[in-house]
Structure 1
């Protein structure tokens, strides 16, 4: 029964009376609409919980609503909610005893009254598994316990495995059928077009391919193994009896005791070699192998080279034998100094954009006729780049072939090389126009060598040299490399300023084979 406290106490179903008394007309009560169950949202709150309404608080049992004549009976508590008998007569339930929405009360067997709201949520059927169901009254039969359903799990076990197996089988069958259909579509012959070649393909002698074919057999790779490791470079044949020209810095370490020097030819032949002579002033060296019948390269006239001429550089950069690169002559008479303070080479270089990399040193730079016009010797490097990581940036430099010819002849004939001088010290601290002759002696060397070419031409301490052979000079190294591009005995014309007076003087170059200061031309 429903108590005043609001708790639902289940009781045994009431027995209907044979002839229930009918209320008198004066006792008729207008039909009251059944109270609508509170709406419960199907969506959880933002916190993830659904708050349940509180149980209604009822007055104590002693304050039950009165019954008797003149008191209209209360409306039923709600559809499907039975009212138990009181003292043998049906007692109307008070509104405060309405069951809590959402919690079912065991039916009495009577059919539920129709809801006046057709879209109201149906009252769920009662079962004993509701965690908040009211406890059974003493002696009342307990509701049968609900059993958990395992249907969904049974389906997952029964059906998932066969579905996986079926998917695998379908994949295999599809792959086989796809392979067969693809294979069936493959032509038996690809039928790609071919080029019909009759005989050998000839290249013009002045093409890059023609030049490379003529020059490569005479270019060699040089390998020196010494205490500081192994260094490699390039070279080319000067004479058919085994003389080979290369850079001094390629073979400089071959003078050490126990060092080995090996020359690798284009056909793969390796032959031991010896140094005939070398000079750090021009960064040139001659080595010899005991081989006859070699094909030498011709030394062309570097004075005939002009900016824009096509050139080809050949060598073994990074040990890659027989590498051919092409470019043009980018500039002439570039003053280049290489080496350290003890072994400084001054080069009046040919500049090229043909790729020159470490290992190209000593290799030939040839013109369109296959003649050597330069010996690849140096490359420019970007600021901050270590020399061991340097590579081509399109600024390569080669020793002119005319200079190489004269020096190579001296090395083969005497083992040493000489260079021309004018006999003055230059002041590298000067920053004005031209270059200045030093005013003071340095380390026992006179600013102007007594009796030397400059002294004989009337050049004095502190004079400014503005030009050489009509070409302006702005740096001491530029004057030095220009002088060393000549032969001893040549005459050059210098534009000299003494105080405010300028004049041209003729100077005949003398010869030196000693290691003088870099500032001594």
Structure 2
């Protein structure tokens, strides 16, 4: 801040929140990369993305170095990862006096609210960009090599049918790979599966290296953890950058998951116990939603009375447009949580309370 007589909102947020955002460098025998992180406690707990600390699934034993806003370097150890939300917690060694970032209530966001991103795109620590909240209640399906094997397509998970091609993590930086996530310039490693994440969409500029960094409101409070960007699909140049479509894990989900990781080393996720697809894939459907095509006995859906042919249109009051929306909202809740589901059966709307199972990855 060079001119205190000419300070705007973004300047104030940057001054307040920048000390709580760090740059993370990760290396292993399989490669190296950089991302960002958010300070959770004064003694060094830091929130980031699973794909940052695992180099998109390439390593389970990373060497982690963290640089704070004031230039101090720390080594860090991995506390735990949660691939289903792409969140992870690390702990800085011998840290004290750090500035934790305050969390906002992401359920109170409006489209059009100010959104300010702080992180380390392309390794450029402390980079600040601004925009707005472009959309809420968005869900993305992401190919993740760190995730349990095909979590949404196995006997243990809620199965999805007819899903779209998943997004890639174009949001952490591996030197020499043109900003592409993954070893050798590939977005994902062998194995793994697809994960469905509820996200906040923003047009604040986010680029490779912003992963795990902060998306903030006008008060400098965390509203989301930057996780991915959507590219144009043209990879011929080997480059991918901001086109104004970025995504962040909502702060309420990030708070729950990070608290559980710190307390238990891992986090839980809900399980509906149903096979679903997009209702619009059914030629006889006159609405959008998640069409239930199978309900195994003994699962949460069956216990709540849901049946094959039901179309889920709302989950805890949020609109459901397809199977990705439903899976993302189910996974956002802890195992054993209760949820209110609105569905159509024979053209009539019904609402039921479901006690979710626990996903076993």
TM interval, shorter chain, is 0.7 to 0.9
1:389-428 residue pairs with structure 2 within 5 A?
A: 389-427=239-277
**Cα 1:384–1:258, aligned 2, differ >3 Å: closer, same or farther?**
same
Aligned: 1:337 with 2:192 = no
C-alpha distance in structure 1 between counterparts of 2:65 and 2:300, whole Å: 43
Which of the residues 296, 318, 330 maps onto 1:449?
A: 296
* 1:342-390 Cα shifts (integer Å, max 9, x gaps): 2433221111110000000000001111100010001111133369521
Query: Is 1:482 aligned with 2:332?
Result: no
User: 1:494 is matched with which residue: 330, 342, 361?
Assistant: 342
Matched, 1:435 2:238: no
> Which residue of the other structure, out of 191, 196, 208, is the alignment partner of 1:346?
196
**Aligned partner of residue 276 in structure 2, secondary structure:** coil
Within 5 A, what are the aligned runs for 1:241-260?
241-253=43-55, 256=59, 259-260=62-63
Does the C-alpha gap of structure 1 residues 466 and 266 become closer, same or farther in structure 2, counting only changes over 3 Å?
Answer: closer
Superposed, which structure 2 residues align to 1:136-285 within 5 Å?
Answer: 201=4, 207-253=9-55, 256=59, 259-285=62-88
Change (3 A) 1:214 1:471: closer
Tell me the distance in 2 between the aligned counterparts of 1:298 and 1:314.
14
Please say if residues 299 and 357 of structure 2, whose CA atoms lie closer than 8 Å, have aligned partners that are also in contact: no
Determine if the alignment matches structure 1 residue 356 to structure 2 residue 206: yes
Question: Could you tell me how far apart the structure 2 residues matched to 1:202 and 1:478 are?
Answer: 46
* Match of residue 114 from structure 1: none
Greater percentage in strand: 2
Q: Deviations over 1:433-469 (max 9, x none)?
A: 433222xxxxxxxx42323221122112343334434
Aligned match of 1:307? 111
Q: Separation in 2 of the partners of 1:245 and 1:458? A: 39
TM-score with structure 1 length normalisation?
A: 0.55
Write the distance in 2 (CA, Å) between the matches of 1:494 and 1:200.
54
Q: How many angstroms apart in 2 are the aligned matches of 1:255 and 1:389?
A: 21
The equivalent of 1:293 in structure 2 is: 97
Q: 1:220 to 1:387 in 2, by over 3 A?
A: farther
Match of 2:168 in 1: none
Separation in 2, partners of 1:323, 1:249: 20
Is 1:514 the counterpart of 2:360? The answer is yes
Measured after TM superposition, the shift of residue 490 of structure 1 is 2.6
2:225 equivalent to 1:385: no
Q: Would the alpha carbon gap of residues 228 and 506 (structure 1) be closer, same or farther in structure 2, given more than 3 Å must change? A: same
Matched residue, 1:14? none
**Contact 1:418/1:511 (CA < 8 Å) preserved in 2?**
no
**2:344 and 2:279 mapped to 1: Cα distance?**
18
CA distance in 2, matches of 1:451, 1:384: 46
2:126 maps to 1:322: yes
Which structure has the larger Rg over C-alpha atoms? 1
Distance in 1 between residues matched to 2:63 and 2:4, nearest whole Å? 42
Is the partner of 1:216 in helix, strand or coil?
Answer: helix
Distance in 2, Cα, partners of 1:483 & 1:513: 10
Highest relative contact order (Cα 8 Å, sep 6+), 1 or 2?
A: 2
Uncovered stretches (5+) of structure 2, i.e. residues with no partner: 145-149, 151-191
Would the aligned equivalents of 2:87 and 2:258 in 1 still touch at CA under 8 Å?
Answer: yes
**SS at 2:241 equivalent:** coil
* Aligned CA-pair RMSD: 2.4
Deviations 1:77-118 (A, max 9, x none): xxxxxxxxxxxxxxxxxxxxxxxxxxxxxxxxxxxxxxxxxx
Other-structure match for 2:165: none
In the alignment, the residues of structure 1 paired with residue 125 and residue 75 of structure 2 have an alpha-carbon distance, to the nearest angstrom, of 17
Task: Classify 1:384/1:257 alpha carbon distance in 2 versus 1 (closer, same or farther; 3 Å).
Answer: closer
Q: Using structure 2 for the length normalisation, give the TM-score.
A: 0.78
